[in-house]
Structure 1
Amino acid sequence: MNSKQKEDEEQRRRWGARTWSTLAAVRSRSPLIQCITNFVSMDLVANTLLSAGASPAMLHSIEELPDFTPNADALCINVGTLSAAWLPAMKFAAELALKAGKPWVLDPVAAGASKFRMMACLELMQLKPTVVRGNGSEIIALSKASTESSMGVDSSHESTDAVEAAKSLAQNSGAIVAVSGAVDIVTDGKQVIGAHNGVAMMQKITATGCSVTALIAAFLAVDQLHALETTASALSIFGIAGEMGMDAAKGPASLRTHLIDSLYGLDEAAVISRVKIASL
């Protein structure tokens, strides 16, 4: 093993140890994660959080927010099935989380699909999300604050196409920006990290992106101070669960089940041996 290989192996082991430590902390502390998410994703998001060891609360009534949101450990806001009736609750919850010093994560689903959706996302961005997680097209659209180049919730861009847009969005907003794709990209505007775990068939299961956004929120709940690394770790963990689930899956439906089972059953040896995170 040459010096470069030794350095790469040492980096992989450090990332493995960090990632396992964060997952173990989620399992130990069972952080309460409030999710204002879309109708399509609620089931998988809740089950992802439960399987990781967190406690999900699918709560969006504006009347309950003053009592509930400040006591949650993190907040996840997903605009997938956005409506004018839900937007005030999303903004109020983000305000409460920010005031309470709790991390919150924005999933700008199909940000460029309509002017209403784009304006909603931009208004939420003003409330200082800790992390923004989307696909390549969503991050490019949000960075440009335009409605160009959109295909609804599907991405017409690879994650690597959105690196510069992600860096710009991170610099302008102060948020960590994550771009999901074949390689998951995470940046603070300067550093760029790639998480290389996952399988292509995960894209055939609706709400996997929504679910990993919620998992990021759970990881931030136990380590907000290292949001860049924590986000990369969450993406890698979800990808590893997909890889392990794929070993027993026959298609998207069975992968969905096995992904959740694999996330629940992850142990230290599997995490350390499978994590593929590196600086880009």
Structure 2
Amino acid sequence: MSDTPCLPAEGRPSTDVAASAAQLLSRLRSAPPLTHCITNSVVTGFTANVLLALGAAPAMVDIVDESGMFAAAASGLLINLGTPTPEQRAASREAARGAVAAGTPWVLDPVAIGALPVRTRLAGELVALRPTAIRGNASEILALAGLGDGGRGVDATDTPDAAAAAARALAARWGSTVAVSGPVDLITDGRRVIRIANGDALLTRVTGGGCALGAVMASFLGAARGSGTDVLTAVAAASLVYTVAAERAAATAPGPGSFAVALLDALDAVDSDEILAAARVEEVAP
């Protein structure tokens, strides 16, 4: 999600994702999807504000005996493993099962897995329930695939290209769409690969910049239900809208503090014309 990324030469520009992003954003705003977030305590407020600014309806339900029924009623679910307390771990398992039973699309964000054993075991349990989408940085995706130690906490020490094979393997094994965040986001369903070069490096200097993207993906998956849009396109559309808004915010923000506020304003203001004009999206031949 850097400010001047380059797309690889072997791909071809894709207008489908940009058009779908514009359509899904309009659909989301006209019928705000109820987005159930079990997320980490560091980013709860920021994540909720990101969803509100975008036009979605957030709900942070992480209580055992409530999370499963709420996941069944929600439009989309995010499970983020940033601060997995015992209560959250149990609520996450319950919510994932509730979502699967009800057909609610859900996103797994395996934050900082690899070297940290509690969350790594939990991520293994949850991925076996076949999340609709998995979002993480390259080191987290490699760790989830059993091919790395997870980097340095929430900081990736690997690139999306280094995790491309792992992402495709995860997608093929669990039937999930896998999104690898980085200077150029890589999104795959195991067969098709989409790269998005929008974004700005300031996203990496705001707590919750990546975590909130997982919630945005859950919202877009909720908005896409009944629209005929496939999961890969919906996840890529979420990434595109979020990173185009980040570019708008960075254009006026001198630093990370003002950027965090500007991002909320940009998510509120971004529209279809801006998405279509700013998109730097490419589909890479398998």
Same fold (TM over 0.5): yes
The amino acid of 1:231's aligned partner reads: V
What is residue 186 of structure 1 aligned with on the other side? 187
Match of 1:87 among 89, 93, 97: 89
Q: How many angstroms apart in 2 are the aligned matches of 1:269 and 1:72?
A: 29
1:16 is displaced (CA, Å) by 2.3
1:149 is displaced (CA, Å) by 4.9
The amino acid of 1:57's aligned partner reads: A
| Count of matched residue positions in the alignment of Structure 1 and Structure 2 | 271
1:240 is displaced (CA, Å) by 0.5
Provide, for residues 119-176 of structure 1, a one-character-per-residue CA deviation record: whole Å limited to 9, x for no partner. 1000001111000000000000101166x25211110011121101101111111110
CA change 1:149–1:118 in 2 (3 A) is: closer
1:257 is displaced (CA, Å) by 0.7
Q: How many angstroms apart in 2 are the aligned matches of 1:149 and 1:115?
A: 11
1:223 is displaced (CA, Å) by 1.4
Match of 2:241 among 209, 227, 237: 237
CA change 1:182–1:85 in 2 (3 A) is: same
- Given that residues 244 and 262 in structure 1 are in contact (C-alpha distance below 8 angstroms), is that contact kept between their aligned partners in structure 2? yes
What is residue 137 of structure 1 aligned with on the other side? 139
Give the alignment of 1:121-200 within 5 angstroms.
Answer: 121-144=123-146, 148-200=149-201
The amino acid of 1:167's aligned partner reads: R
What is residue 104 of structure 2 aligned with on the other side? 102
Q: How many angstroms apart in 2 are the aligned matches of 1:34 and 1:16?
A: 26
1:200 is displaced (CA, Å) by 1.1
- Given that residues 35 and 58 in structure 1 are in contact (C-alpha distance below 8 angstroms), is that contact kept between their aligned partners in structure 2? yes
Percent identity over paired residues: 38
- Given that residues 69 and 95 in structure 2 are in contact (C-alpha distance below 8 angstroms), is that contact kept between their aligned partners in structure 1? no
Provide, for residues 13-32 of structure 1, a one-character-per-residue CA deviation record: whole Å limited to 9, x for no partner. x3322110011111011010
Give the alignment of 1:110-129 within 5 angstroms.
Answer: 110-129=112-131
1:221 aligns with 2:222: yes
Give me the TM-score of the superposition, normalised by structure 2. 0.91
- Given that residues 51 and 264 in structure 1 are in contact (C-alpha distance below 8 angstroms), is that contact kept between their aligned partners in structure 2? yes
What is residue 77 of structure 2 aligned with on the other side? 75
The amino acid of 2:253's aligned partner reads: A
1:277 is displaced (CA, Å) by 1.3
1:271 is displaced (CA, Å) by 1.1
Q: Can you give the 5+ residue segments of structure 2 that lack an aligned partner in the other structure?
A: 1-10
CA change 1:275–1:173 in 2 (3 A) is: same
Structure with the bigger RCO (C-alpha within 8 Å, sep 6+) is 2
1:66 is displaced (CA, Å) by 4.5
- Given that residues 74 and 104 in structure 1 are in contact (C-alpha distance below 8 angstroms), is that contact kept between their aligned partners in structure 2? yes
SS of equivalent residue, structure 1 residue 86: helix
Q: How many angstroms apart in 1 are the aligned matches of 2:177 and 2:261?
A: 30
Q: How many angstroms apart in 2 are the aligned matches of 1:111 and 1:173?
A: 18
- Given that residues 122 and 145 in structure 1 are in contact (C-alpha distance below 8 angstroms), is that contact kept between their aligned partners in structure 2? no
What is residue 248 of structure 1 aligned with on the other side? 252
RMSD: 1.5
Bigger proportion of residues as helix: 1
Q: Can you give the 5+ residue segments of structure 1 that lack an aligned partner in the other structure?
A: 1-6
The amino acid of 1:191's aligned partner reads: R
Q: Which portions of structure 1, spanning 4 or more consecutive aligned residues, are displaced by more than 4 angstroms?
A: none
SS of equivalent residue, structure 2 residue 170: helix
Give me the TM-score of the superposition, normalised by structure 1. 0.93
Q: How many angstroms apart in 1 are the aligned matches of 2:189 and 2:71?
A: 26
SS of equivalent residue, structure 2 residue 87: coil
1:178 is displaced (CA, Å) by 0.4
